[in-house]
Chain A
Amino acid sequence: MKRFLLSLLLLSISIALSAEFLVEDELLTPEPSPKWGGTLRLVLPSTPESFLMYGTLDSSTYSITMGPMFSPLVEMHPVTNEIKPALAKSWTVSSDGKEVTFHLREAYWSDGKPITSDDVIFTFKYFVMNQFARGNSIDRFTIPDEKGVNKMIEWIKIDDKTVKALLPSPYGAFYTVLSHVYIYPKHKLEPLIDKNDLGSVNKIWLSNTDPKEIVVNGPFKPVQLITDQKLILERNPNFWKVDKYGYRLPYFDKIEYLIIRDEQVRLAKFMAGEIDFMAISSRDYPMLKEQELAGKTPYVVYATQPNQPTPSPIHISFNFDVDDPELKELFRKLEFREAMEYALNRQRIIEEVFAGLAIPDAGLMLPSNKAFYNPKIEQLLRPYDLKKANELLDKIGLTRRDREGYRLFTTGKRVEFNLLVQSSPKEYQDVALIFAEDLRKIGIKVNLQILDASLVGQMFGAGNFQAGIRAFGNQPDPQLRKAIWQPGTQLYYWHYSTMDKTKTPPQPVFENMFDWEKRIWELFEKGQVEMDPVKRKAYYDEWQELYHIYLPVIFVCKGMNIWGFNKNLGNAGLTKEGMLRFTVWTSYRK
């Protein structure tokens, strides 16, 4: 027995010695004397549907798995968005840019088994590239080869600690998409999968799983889930990151996620100091800040430069394929869309709707995204100027007006259109009201069509609208939003005639595209296969300019991100550049 214990001890020491740790950087751990132990208290809006992020589309599952429980091969830095090593300690690219070899870190699962290339290949085969997995990412890992035929990226095992990715052609956004692939344990999950029914991957590690079965490679592992009340995670003793002093992370022993559905209750718990960190809505910011400044609150709140995909920047679109022939001709005129942008009072919207907590110059990319943002678009935004808007409308021949002051088409019909808006979030309606009010001043009648969100989504999806207000999130790399902003795709909903829906997958229809749309289509194709970051940025710079010159949609503004922290949370707050600094593995209780 003694000998057994001794050998166990020796084994654990050798494991500790052989492990290769990553030192977490100064940006996330600026404070000099961190403390260990305690519980980090966070909040979830609903019980996670699963612990397997690829088997579900549930956002609570994403919150707990992407980061707190699992790690990817390469990581995106939480503050700077730079790609850095994670489970892969290094990688090399072949000279033609089509083979990337990853060298895995000497790291272990929470149950002590080594993390190997088998886990990587398993994760790709059964989850990421499995078309029956609900949360798969096949589209992100399928790219055209030199002949333009779509092919999947292949993974091959070199040895236990080396895997190679074979790309059909160089792929600029490869590391960005890879940073969203979290690696799952083969030795635990493979026995649960029915190999004859690949849809069975959706049924494993659901919310009724015994937490003891769940093995992780991130900082925390689950220990208990109390339905609709709480989820408890515990430190993973084998986490592969250390702080600058060489001590193993995370600092906290536990994370407790309170499950609270109602936004007001969440806020009340945060104000009472029962929640350490959460996102705050812009509506609540003034009240919280006021109380904070009055002193005695257990929390601090910050409005940060937007660096998150949500809240989505709101845009206004005009349907280029609308049924009404006169409106169709009008919407396709650039002067009309320019007039619409001149009539858009961004400043008033930001002040009245967003309580001043929004920025006007973000849409396709965020200014905080140094890798891709093109600051030139700030000059391209047309400022609120009703006189200019009027002139432009006069110029395109809408000079006659009726008795009520509305402009008339040459046929004598009044210039009016329906603006389709979903009823929640409320900001959309408020933007629509202000916009409609200003259009009234330049003689255009807007009928607001405010409907339930799911119905509105369907109507947009079917191209059944005249004009609309909608929002799509940003992403760190434009490639990830190709499905929205490239003409000829399902989400390029304001110009559906650029897409042939009868083919699977749908094909672009070039003869229906404007010249500038063809160019945008091309820029996406070029940006996708370019590996040189400088050249990629040039492509996407041009793309951003084209959007602001030709206005396929008019961006309104983007809400800032607002965060609340408990005052006694260490290594949490803002960086010098006003960016959010917080991770579950570097924060601690002061």
Chain B
Amino acid sequence: MRRILIMIPMMFFISVICFIVTELQPGDFLSQYLENPRISPQQIETLRRELALDKPAHQRYLIWIKNIVTKGDFGYSFSYQRPVVELIWERLGWTVAISILTIGFQWLFATLMGIYSALHPYRAGDYTLSILGFVGLSIPEFFLALVLMYLTLKLGGTTVGGLFSPQFIGSPMSWAKFIDLLKHLWLPIVVIGLSGLAGLMRIMRGNMLDVLGSPFVTALRARGLDEKTIRRHVIKNALNPLVSIAGMELPNVFSGTIIASIVLNLPTIGPFFYNALLNHDQYLVMTFLMFIAIITQIGNLLADIALALLDPRINIS
């Protein structure tokens, strides 16, 4: 309960910082139209009044916050002229789906690889996996996406970019459409997932080695427990810290993939947010940032709860 209450001032604080940062960006939504001879200076003035951009920043911020608190209204997008929540909602489905699949992919492979590495430390398998992980970590996502797309095309694949082949976009769901989706989906999952893989894997490996060397394992061995049971205890213990960083992973996947999504032409929120940022579509940007912030906080909260379930010694007060 206390944790949840703390989130409120926290969100407020974050919103102020985000607002200041978006204000610091030179120009505003209307500066892109200054050079357009079709739009007269008078019209820009009219628009400025309509969008309340003529008011000082702190006033706009207060109006925005007031509408959120009193009406749950996060404001309008300057360019789409629709409520920002609606616009974000429209694009959230695929974002969440891809994020969850990506995280699933990361975790599955990271833990498996971590466990394998830790059980065979400083041997060829360990080194190979580490190198693979670090390569994924160090290559920029967009570049990896381009390379993989190029390789797929070279090897005769045609299913590149987007989530569906053009003929399936908008058609009702069918078996053929699902297969088509699977053909497209692996690429973004691998591209986005690979970057976080190394980090998670190293954490898992380190934890495993720590736990393997800890006295309670020695004690278990001394009592003659079989190696399989010991391993189960070790893995359970080693998973602990991994769960606590799980909360961080969701917003990372959400926000860290903007460029990859642009390159892969995914209908996620990332490219949309990027465009809003370039256009100074302030309320859209703000709402998205707040959304990421709240996801992070909820993620952390959930991680804590999961941790408590995994390890009864930790208690949430």
Contacts and interface: CB of A to CB of B under 8 A. Distances in A.
Contact of A458 (B34, B80, B81): B34
B218 interface: no
B51 to A, nearest CB: 10
Nearest to A505: B42
A336 B202 CA distance: 66
A101 interface: no
B265 interface: yes
Interface stretch (A66-74, A260-268, A346-354): A260-268
B32 A454 contact: yes
B37 A491 contact: yes
A250 B171 CA distance: 24
Contacts of B312: none
B166 interface: yes
Interface string B26-52: 110001111111111111001100100
A262 B262 contact: yes
A272 interface: yes
Interface in A308-357: none
B170 A206 contact: no
A265 B161 contact: yes
A483 B35 CA distance: 10
B35 A491 contact: yes
Contact of A268 (B38, B79, B149): B149
A46 interface: yes
Given A49-B79, A269-B161, A454-B26, A232 B263 contact: no
Contacts of B105: none
A317 to B, nearest CB: 13
A208 B86 CA distance: 9
Interface string A207-224: 110000000000000001
Given A203-B81, A230-B170, A490-B41, A268 B35 contact: no
Interface stretch (B5-13, B61-69, B111-119, B267-275): B267-275
A228 B42 contact: no
A41 interface: yes
Interface in A117-136: 131-132, 134, 136
A176 interface: no
Contacts of A134: 47
A232 B170 contact: yes
A38 to B, nearest CB: 13
B50 A132 contact: yes
Contacts of A504: 42
Nearest to A180: B38
B26 A274 contact: no
B277 to A, nearest CB: 12
B118 to A, nearest CB: 40
Nearest to A203: B81
A55 B82 CA distance: 12
B233 interface: no
Contact of B265 (A49, A260, A455, A480): A260
B243 interface: no
B27 A458 contact: yes
Contacts of B91: 227-228
A256 interface: yes
Given A134-B47, A227-B91, A264-B263, A481 B81 contact: no
B81 A206 contact: yes
A484 interface: yes
> What are the nearest 7 A-B pairs in CB distance?
A454-B27, A228-B267, A483-B37, A455-B26, A230-B169, A226-B170, A265-B265
25 contacts: A49-B79, A50-B81, A55-B81, A57-B33, A132-B50, A136-B43, A203-B81, A206-B81, A207-B80, A208-B90, A228-B91, A228-B272, A229-B170, A230-B170, A260-B162, A261-B265, A262-B263, A264-B263, A269-B161, A455-B26, A457-B34, A457-B35, A458-B26, A491-B35, A505-B41
Given A454-B31, A461-B34, 17 more contacts: A46-B275, A49-B79, A50-B81, A56-B81, A57-B33, A58-B79, A138-B43, A203-B81, A206-B81, A226-B267, A229-B170, A261-B265, A264-B146, A272-B153, A458-B26, A458-B31, A505-B40
Interface of B: 26-27, 31-43, 46-47, 50, 79-82, 86, 90-91, 146, 149, 153, 158, 160-164, 166, 169-170, 262-265, 267, 271-272, 275, 280
